[in-house]
Structures are given as structure tokens and as C-alpha cells.
């Protein structure tokens, strides 16, 4: 599907850029709404960066009964709601969705897709004819799966443009990545670096395996063994690796069946330790 290829092409472009400022020339910002749900403020941070770059209106989706910010309490409530087939009740928006042509929709990734408050919103609204731009924050990944779910939930939108996703562990990268993201889609003017496509993958060697292991080390929800890899050069002497890896059972859940294969993106910037930027399952 062409739109998914566009996502992958733009994902690497987000490695370079300059922080946004309100003085940048935005394209029809008055017709743009940045709408988001955020529990821990990570998604809010991205929303604020986008709104600032575009001089756009912004609104937060809030709940009648907010989730507990404690991780375990939130997980338990979500699991109970999922078992009962219910979604949390959201408060009415103050902005009139009908007046906006373009809506940036932001959310954290929970259980592999957009969080339940965003699901509740999408159940209540008709976004037919609008341009939708998703953005999300996550522990390891989920932009692609949430993109698919969003397209199925709102099949009559004009288009869903390639989205932006960032790990919670990489929030310091948000300003430069959002800048390049918005330039790549034409929302703000300016040049940006577009890396070449990945070459064909080859079996990992010892050095590449060490890079992979260093990047995923310490992340408890990812236990995988690198099998093959391709790499490409980024601007300022950075390198991005795309690993194909075998998803192994997690130590804390040895009975959980692993996926047959996963894709892991790893960034190595000059003078910095390897870090994985996203996982696609």
C-alpha cells in the first residue's frame, strides 16, 4: 500500500532538523487543529510542539473519570474495560471539529494501538472529508498498527497522511523530529534531509549484533535475537539500522508465544550509544 511506504520513507527523515518556533511560516494554520489525548504528558509535549510550529489551535481529549497515572492501575482498568467491551466516557470538546480541514490526532499507544480515550472519540465523531495526520508516543512501537485501525474506523476521511511516532525514552528528540516531519509533509517551509532507501539485508555479523544488543538492552518488553540487517547513512555521520529479528519469549512471561519476526529500527549517532527508535511486529 503506497501510503504505508510513505510512512517508512519519512520515518528516517525525522532524524535531522532544527527546533520549531512560532515565527515559521505555516500553511493555513487557522484551518488546522491539533487534537490529542495524553496521560503522562508525553503526547501533550508532541502536540504542543506541532501546534507551536503551525500556530494551530489545540485541544485535549479529557475523561469524565480520568485514568490513574500509576502504570499498573491504568493497565488493570484498561484490561477490565476491554473484557467488558466498554470505552471510557470523554468530555465534550470545546472546539468545533467541523470548522477544521486538517486535524492532527495524537495518542499514546496502549495494547498495540491508540489508547481507549482516542477510540472513544473516534466512535463519536465523523471525520469524513478531512485530512488526518496521526502522531503518537509509545514504549516500543505502534504507529503502523494504529494507522491501520484509524483508517478502518474512519474510512471516509479525505486522506490519512504519514504519521509521526516517538518512544517515551526519546522525548528529547521531539523538537528536531517534528520540525522535519512537518517540512516533509509541506506544512512548513524549509529543506530537510531524506536518506536513501535501505539496501538488501544481509546476515548480521558480530559487530552488528553488538549494536543491536546494546540498543535493546534494558528494555524489559523486548527480548529478541537479530537475524539480518541493512543500514543507511544519515546526515551528520549518523547511521540507521533496520534489523530483522526473532522475537524470543520474555523472561517475565516465558509462556507467551513469540511473534515469528519483528523489525527493529536502531539509530547510532556520532558519539552516542545505539538506541532503538521503534519496533514493528
In this predicted model, what pLDDT tens digit does every residue of 110-166 receive, in sequence order? Answer: 999 999 999 999 999 999 999 999 999 999 999 999 999 999 999 999 999 999 999
Instruction: Name 219's Cβ contacts closer than 8 Å, sequence gap at least 6.
Output: 139, 140, 276
How is residue 191 written as a grid cell? 529543506
| pTM of this structure | 0.87
Instruction: Name 90's Cβ contacts closer than 8 Å, sequence gap at least 6.
Output: 61, 62, 63, 64, 117, 120, 121, 124
- pLDDT on residue 11: 41
50: phi then psi, degrees, rounded to nearest 5: -65, -45
In this predicted model, what pLDDT tens digit does every residue of 76-99 receive, in sequence order? Answer: 999 999 899 999 999 999 999 999
How is residue 277 written as a grid cell? 527508535
- pLDDT on residue 22: 45
**124-144 burial, b for 16+ CB within 10 Å, e for fewer?**
ebebeebbbbbbbbbbbbbbb
How is residue 5 written as a grid cell? 511506504
Q: ∠ at Cα 178 (183, 90), nearest 5°?
A: 120
- pLDDT on residue 221: 86
Q: What's 250's DSSP letter?
A: B
Asked if the model's pLDDT at residue 194 lies above 90, the reply is: no
Section 172-183 average pLDDT: 96
d(CA 105, CA 107): 7
More confident residue, 247 or 4: 247
Amino acid at each position: 500500500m503506497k501510503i504505508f511506504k510513505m510512512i517508512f520513507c519519512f520515518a528516517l527523515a525525522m532524524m535531522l532538523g532544527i527546533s520549531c518556533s512560532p515565527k515559521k511560516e505555516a500553511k493555513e494554520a487557522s484551518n488546522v487543529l491539533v487534537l490529542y489525548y495524553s496521560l503522562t504528558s508525553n503526547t501533550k509535549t508532541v502536540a504542543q510542539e506541532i501546534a507551536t510550529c503551525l500556530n494551530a489551535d489545540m485541544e485535549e481529549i479529557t475523561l469524565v473519570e480520568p485514568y490513574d497515572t500509576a502504570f499498573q492501575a491504568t493497565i488493570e482498568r484498561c484490561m477490565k474495560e476491554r473484557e467488558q467491551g466498554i470505552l471510557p466516557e470523554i468530555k465534550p470538546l470545546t472546539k468545533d471539529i467541523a470548522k477544521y480541514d486538517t486535524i492532527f490526532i495524537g495518542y499514546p499507544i496502549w495494547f498495540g494501538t491508540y489508547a481507549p480515550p482516542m477510540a472513544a472519540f473516534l466512535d463519536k465523531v465523523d471525520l469524513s472529508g478531512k485530512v488526518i495526520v496521526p502522531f503518537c508516543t509509545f514504549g516500543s512501537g505502534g504507529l503502523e498498527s494504529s494507522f491501520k485501525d484509524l483508517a478502518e474506523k474512519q474510512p471516509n476521511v479525505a486522506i490519512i497522511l504519514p504519521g509521526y511516532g516517538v518512544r517515551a525514552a526519546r522525548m528529547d528528540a521531539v523538537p528536531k523530529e517534528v520540525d522535519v516531519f512537518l517540512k516533509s509533509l509541506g506544512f512548513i517551509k524549509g529543506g530537510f534531509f531524506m536518506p536513501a532507501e535501505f539496501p538488501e539485508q544481509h546476515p548480521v555479523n558480530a559487530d552488528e549484533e553488538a549494536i543491536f544488543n546494546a540498543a535493546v538492552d534494558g528494555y524489559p518488553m523486548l527480548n529478541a535475537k537479530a537475524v539480518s540487517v541493512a543500514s543507511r547513512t544519515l546526515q551528520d555521520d549518523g547511521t540507521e539500522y533496520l534489523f530483522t529479528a526473532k522475537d524470543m519469549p520474555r523472561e517475565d512471561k516465558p509462556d507467551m508465544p513469540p511473534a515469528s519476526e519483528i523489525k527493529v529500527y536502531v539509530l547510532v549517532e556520532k558519539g552516542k550509544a545505539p538506541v532503538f527508535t521503534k519496533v514493528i511486529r
